[in-house]
Amino acid sequence: DQQVKQNSPSLSVQEGRISILNCDYTNSMFDYFLWYKKYPAEGPTFLISISSIKDKNEDGRFTVFLNKSAKHLSLHIVPSQPGDSAVYFCAASPMDDKIIFGKGTRLHILP
Amino acid sequence: DAMVIQNPRYQVTQFGKPVTLSCSQTLNHNVMYWYQQKSSQAPKLLFHYYDKDFNNEADTPDNFQSRRPNTSFCFLDIRSPGLGDAAMYLCATSRLRQGSNQPQHFGDGTRLSIL
């Protein structure tokens, strides 16, 4: 049973607009959440993370929001750029245990 | 640049013929991980080393084994590959043990094909 769910396999967004990638989780013990970005033929690259004591973390164009009551997190990219086209993995871990990954969402930035 | 390097990038082997995938790191991280990722699936942790301490996931088949001769290198051995073992294998590292609220750093993976 999937503990980290990314229900949208793909998403298309116009260049310059906001991209919003969503992730839901089931394990209330998760206390650390991450987003990774993956280009074809490359390994995942760490993008941004958030601890469960926060509800928002921002790094440049990337912002992660955490809603613990809904067990939901989202990644906002604004403005979206062509280089943002990639697969984005949501991941989570409880304290002292392994990171669990979602299946990924493929983001296409349209010109 | 400090990095995680996986060799080879592509590996083809025959059904049942042992194969070894390698991973090296220049980050001097204590922890090294091996993941299996099949198409459109989440990366699945097979095992990890915290220093020399080996930690196997409960559902990792016995067919998969690992060696870490030193801090920099870690190997994934598949003793008798089956068709279901065709996948991308990802190596990752982290400075602290898992669950320490820190990201993992991934190599570019080895894509394994079974004939």
Mean pLDDT confidence for B11-24: 96
| A interface test, pick of B101, B110, B111 with most A CB neighbours within 10 Å | B101
pLDDT tens-digit readout, A45-59? 999 999 999 999 999
pLDDT single digits (tens) B80-106: 999 999 999 999 999 887 767 788 999
Domains of chain A: which residue ranges? 4-110
Check residue B112 and give its pLDDT.
97
Whether residue B2 is predicted with pLDDT greater than 70 in this model: the reply is: no
* Among the listed residues A40, A21, A36, A87, the one whose alpha carbon sits nearest the alpha carbon of residue B103: A36
Could you tell me the pLDDT band of residue A75, with boundaries at 50, 70 and 90? Answer: very high
pLDDT at A95 over 90: no
Q: Which residue of B has its CA nearest to A44?
A: B106
Q: Do A94 and B104 touch (CB under 8 A)?
A: no
> Which residue does chain A place closest to B38, by CA atoms?
A103
Q: What was the pLDDT predicted at B101?
A: 78
3-state SS track over chain B: CCCEEEECCEEEECCCCCEEEEEEECCCCCEEEEEEECCCCCCEEEEEEECCEEEECCCCCCCEEEECCCCCEEEEEECCCCHHHCEEEEEEEECCCCCCCCCCEECCCEEEEEC
The domain total for chain B is 1
In contact, A98 and A4? CB cutoff 8 Å: no
Residue A100: per-residue pLDDT: 93
B109 touching A (Cβ < 8 Å): yes
CATH number assigned to the domain with residue range A4-110, chosen from the 4 options 2.60.40.10, 3.40.50.300, 1.20.1250.20, 3.40.50.2300:
2.60.40.10
- In this complex, do B40 and A49 lie within 8 Å of one another by their Cβ atoms? no
What's the token pair of residue A82?
A: 């062509």
Mean pLDDT in residue range A90-111:
92
B51, with CB counted inside 10 A (0-12, 13-18, 19+), is exposed
Write out the residue range of the structural domain in which residue B51 sits. Answer: 4-114
Q: B58 CB near a chain A CB, below 8 Å?
A: no
Q: Which residues pair with A25 in a beta bridge?
A: A4
Which 3 state secondary structure label does DSSP give A9? coil
Distance between CA A22 and CA B52 in Å, rounded? 37
Q: What is the mean pLDDT of residues A11-26?
A: 98
Residues B80-115 as b/e (b if ≥16 CB within 10 A, e otherwise) read: ebeeebbbbbbbbbbeeebbeebbbbbbbbbbbebe
Instruction: Supply the CATH number for residue B11's domain.
Output: 2.60.40.10
CB B106 within 8 A of CB B92: yes
**Is some CB atom of chain B closer than 8 A to the CB atom of A53?**
no
Other CB atoms within a 10 A radius of the CB of residue A29 amount to 12
